Structure 1
Amino acid sequence: MQDVFIRGTSAVLPNAPVSNDDMESVLGQIGDRPARERRIVLSRNGIRQRYYAVDPATRQPTHTNARLTAEAVKGLVGADFSLPDLDVLACGTSSPDQMAPGHGVMVHGELPEAASCEAVSLAGICCSGVAALRYAALTVSAGQASTAVATGSETASTFMRSEQFTAQYEAQLSAMERRPELAFDGVFLRWMLSDGAGALLLGRQPAEHGLSFRLDWIELRSYAHEQAACMYAGARKQAEGGLQGWRELPADAWSASGAMTFQQDVRQLNEHIVALTIERALPEVLARRPLAADAIDWFLPHYSSEYFRPRIQQGLRRIGFEIPEDRWFTNLPEVGNVGSASIYLMLDALQRETSLAPGQRVLCFVPESGRFSAAYMLLTVVEGA
């Protein structure tokens, strides 16, 4: 197996940034009064602005997920790379524009300058972006490709506009009054998620100029055999914890049941996310990939809310892997939680906003609450070729 290097990074954020005060005017108001839960969620998540692929005047989409992702891929074009060089395109997302064809070929379809290539789609939630990166890296490492591009992207706003919630709100209004937690689970993510796309260029050598990342390893862990679904879309959660898929519901119940929006079991998230993705997963990874905390120069944790930051540090402390917070890097306050794209956006920002040096090690952490998974990735900064 050959070494694999991240030779370039690219990030695309649609339209102008949207402040906390402007969110509801862009996404639309549900019901006859502003959302009471918005300030509760925003007071904890630490996000100051985010980006939506939505026209603030018409509240209509401005980008498809495929087009936004293609813009990120085009952002990699330079002296070392042109689109006809592309051998493999691996695309991860939790919000594709359609069920079929796959997201990967739809992105390829937005790149007419490219030649024929292998295009694959990685489904899931936050970890789908890392899974796409792992697929692309393995093809290069195995000698099956010279140049690969991995992407992570989201257009979560398509799930969050008020039009998606009106029927659900009206159908469940009386139930919400009896059990307010139903309302919170249904709209919690509306104030958490945002849009964007990132792309990474992979090859067998570092970039000719500047710094690159050597991809030392990627590890993914799933605990779905122990946990019910926690974050989901296209389904309705049953009382016993199972999911009833949208195809099992009458067509006229899709909107009213909330099956076509993202939902989150907030209590399950709070109870298990750190215990499983830090205290359980990281020791399992370290048993396979020995690593000391003091060898980490930069820690890039993807978390959905600043609420989880101290809890992540507590979890690291409990397993004896505490990383001082002056080595942490996040851009959550500036770009929001962009799901599968978040780690791509962080790596791009890390290169642009910090003074990286050859030999530094970067540990990336991506938890996913879909049914509780975790991804860890170790990179080493290297000089240009």
Structure 2
Amino acid sequence: MRPVAVLCGVGSYLPPTAVSNDDLSQRLDTTDEWILTRTGIANRFFASRGTATSDLAVSAAERALKCAEVDGVDAVVLATTTPDRPCPATAPVVAAKLGLSGVAAFDVGAVCTGFLYALSAAAGLIATETAERVLVIGADTYSTIVDPSNRSDAVIFGDGAGAVVLRAGTPGEPGAVGPFDLGSDGDHRDLITIRAGGSEQRLSGAEPRPEDHYFSMSGKKVFQQAIVQMAGSVRGLLRRAGLEIGQVDRMVGHQANQRILTRLADVLGLPEDRNIGNIREVGNTAGASIPIALDDGHRRGLLSTGDQVLLTAFGGGLTWGSALLTWPDLHHTDRIRS
């Protein structure tokens, strides 16, 4: 029997600079009520000058390794839209900072679905016996790519990192990960994008506009697509697993907008109190949002050993995906933010 991936550690990190809605209202035409009503977000955290995405990733990884009570892994998979540099990948840098030089390390670029893509890739490394243990990280610093003067986007995103440790195990044990459902539709790439900086723009011969260097999103269309694609992915995943939605104990969705999470639960017929998340406190942390929410739920005692946990996400690409996870019996560690 081939081994399966088993989650054995989780950790997260939020940079020390908290930015409230009131703080943003000092420089943007907005209010705390406007932001909270439309997004469900009251606060977020921004990385400080001199900090890189790899630094956030390392801090989250250290906590996950401590939770798993292991010193090393055989591979590092990092999901990020905001790498330290366009080249090389950031995962090898993270591995080196963790003292893991020599292990396999690579980035996954699937925007806000990135963590689920990375989790699936890591599970594949374990299933093929390429690795015995894999560190999977989602880390993003969207404060570096969002136009600070754009009210629609600037109020949504925050920086942060989350990580899990996977080990080789058996399908029936607590912590087992899978199956997965992943999908994409590149015809809608313009709904969530940064137009400048890539080969398409550089080889076009046209000078980019200033706004082309920033992240942009078509909010209403993204909202609609997110519900449709995540709901379809979840239904397909549950059919494959032979489960009904009522057998799901907890759902951890990508924390893009609280209204999306509430609507998704309603469409799926899942009681809203089974949703786990902390978007109000941390905002949309992109590829880091699911592992951050998992760690927060673990530390608040909202996840019990044996719980059937549904993970689902939607992001630029377009990309989407879902996965099932049987919650393990994890060692508790104190939350450290800075």
TM-score in same-fold range (> 0.5): yes
Moved more, 338-347 or 296-305: 296-305
Are 1:258 and 2:252 matched, yes or no? no
Superposition RMSD on alpha carbons, in Å?
Answer: 2.8
Aligned twin of 1:233: 194
Q: Using a 3 Å threshold, how does the CA distance of structure 1 residues 42 and 245 change in structure 2: closer, same or farther? A: farther
Opposite residue 241 of structure 2, the aligned amino acid is R
Alignment of 1:1-385 (within 5 A): 1-23=2-24, 29=27, 34-36=28-30, 40-54=34-48, 61-78=49-66, 80-82=69-71, 85-111=72-98, 113-160=99-146, 162=148, 187-205=151-169, 213-224=175-186, 227-235=188-196, 245-248=200-203, 253-254=207-208, 256-278=209-231, 280-316=232-268, 322-368=269-315, 370-383=316-329
What per-residue deviation string (whole Å, max 9, x for no partner) do you get for residues 339-370 of structure 1?
A: 100000111112111254332211111122x2
What per-residue deviation string (whole Å, max 9, x for no partner) do you get for residues 161-200 of structure 1?
A: 64xx6xxxxxxxxxxxxxxxxxxxx652211111001111
Q: Using a 3 Å threshold, how does the CA distance of structure 1 residues 149 and 212 change in structure 2: closer, same or farther? A: farther
Aligned twin of 1:183: none
- Report the CA distance between 1:124 and its aligned residue: 2.3
Aligned equivalents of 1:38, 1:359: Cα separation in 2: 39
What per-residue deviation string (whole Å, max 9, x for no partner) do you get for residues 107-126 of structure 1?
A: 22323x22410001101211
Opposite residue 261 of structure 1, the aligned amino acid is Y
Contact residue 246 and residue 259 of structure 1 kept, 8 A: no
What per-residue deviation string (whole Å, max 9, x for no partner) do you get for residues 176-234 of structure 1?
A: xxxxxxxxxx652211111001111111259xxxx962213222122335x35311014
Aligned equivalents of 2:169, 2:241: Cα separation in 1: 23
Aligned equivalents of 2:81, 2:126: Cα separation in 1: 25
Contact residue 110 and residue 317 of structure 2 kept, 8 A: no
Contact residue 5 and residue 212 of structure 1 kept, 8 A: yes
What per-residue deviation string (whole Å, max 9, x for no partner) do you get for residues 46-82 of structure 1?
A: 111111003xxxxxx2410011111111223437311
SS at match of 2:213: coil
Aligned equivalents of 1:148, 1:63: Cα separation in 2: 25
- Report the CA distance between 1:286 and its aligned residue: 3.2
SS at match of 1:323: coil
- Report the CA distance between 1:38 and its aligned residue: 8.3
Q: Using a 3 Å threshold, how does the CA distance of structure 1 residues 374 and 160 change in structure 2: closer, same or farther? A: closer
Segments of 5+ residues of structure 2 without an aligned counterpart are 332-338
- Report the CA distance between 1:42 and its aligned residue: 4.2
Q: Using a 3 Å threshold, how does the CA distance of structure 1 residues 249 and 373 change in structure 2: closer, same or farther? A: same
Opposite residue 374 of structure 1, the aligned amino acid is W
Contact residue 221 and residue 373 of structure 1 kept, 8 A: yes
Contact residue 273 and residue 372 of structure 1 kept, 8 A: no
Aligned equivalents of 2:261, 2:220: Cα separation in 1: 17
Q: Using a 3 Å threshold, how does the CA distance of structure 1 residues 264 and 38 change in structure 2: closer, same or farther? A: farther
Aligned equivalents of 1:298, 1:346: Cα separation in 2: 12
What per-residue deviation string (whole Å, max 9, x for no partner) do you get for residues 77-119 of structure 1?
A: 437311xx221000011111221001212222323x2241000
Q: Using a 3 Å threshold, how does the CA distance of structure 1 residues 64 and 381 change in structure 2: closer, same or farther? A: same
Q: Using a 3 Å threshold, how does the CA distance of structure 1 residues 35 and 351 change in structure 2: closer, same or farther? A: same
Q: Using a 3 Å threshold, how does the CA distance of structure 1 residues 99 and 384 change in structure 2: closer, same or farther? A: closer
Quick check: which has more Rg, 1 or 2? 1
Aligned equivalents of 2:326, 2:16: Cα separation in 1: 33
Contact residue 7 and residue 166 of structure 2 kept, 8 A: yes
Aligned equivalents of 1:117, 1:361: Cα separation in 2: 32
SS at match of 1:95: coil
Q: TM-score, structure 2 length as denominator?
A: 0.87
SS at match of 1:130: helix
Aligned equivalents of 2:317, 2:117: Cα separation in 1: 15
Aligned equivalents of 1:2, 1:12: Cα separation in 2: 30
Aligned equivalents of 1:154, 1:161: Cα separation in 2: 15
Contact residue 18 and residue 50 of structure 1 kept, 8 A: yes
Q: TM-score, structure 1 length as denominator?
A: 0.77
The percentage of aligned residue pairs carrying the same residue is 24
Aligned equivalents of 1:92, 1:136: Cα separation in 2: 11
